Amino acid sequence: MEIKIGDVVRLKKKHPCGSDQWQVIRVGADIGVRCQKCHRRVLLARGVFEHRVKGVLSKGGSILE
C-alpha cells in the first residue's frame, strides 16, 4: 500500500470521539495517524494499519473523487 505523509484515510472502526477519518503524520515500520476531529495521535504497526484502512480520502491535500 502506498501511503505518504499528509494522506487522509478512513479506518474501519470509529475513534471514541466519533470520527473515522485520520491524517497520516509518520511513515515507517509504524504508521502514525492523527484523528481529524479531536487531533489525538495514534501509532499503529504497518500490518495493522493496512488491515484497518477502509479507503484513502485524499492524497496529500488533493481530494480524490
pLDDT tens-place string over residues 2-22: 899 999 999 998 999 999 999
Supply 34's cell numbers. 492523527
56 close to 7: Cβ distance less than 8 angstroms: yes
20 close to 11: Cβ distance less than 8 angstroms: yes
pLDDT confidence of residue 44: 96
pLDDT confidence of residue 63: 47
pLDDT confidence of residue 60: 76
Q: Among all chains, which residue has been given the C-alpha cell 484523528?
A: 35
34 close to 41: Cβ distance less than 8 angstroms: yes
pLDDT confidence of residue 16: 93
Helix (H, G, I), strand (E, B) or coil at 29: coil
pTM score of the predicted model: 0.83
15 close to 40: Cβ distance less than 8 angstroms: yes
Name the average pLDDT for the chain: 90
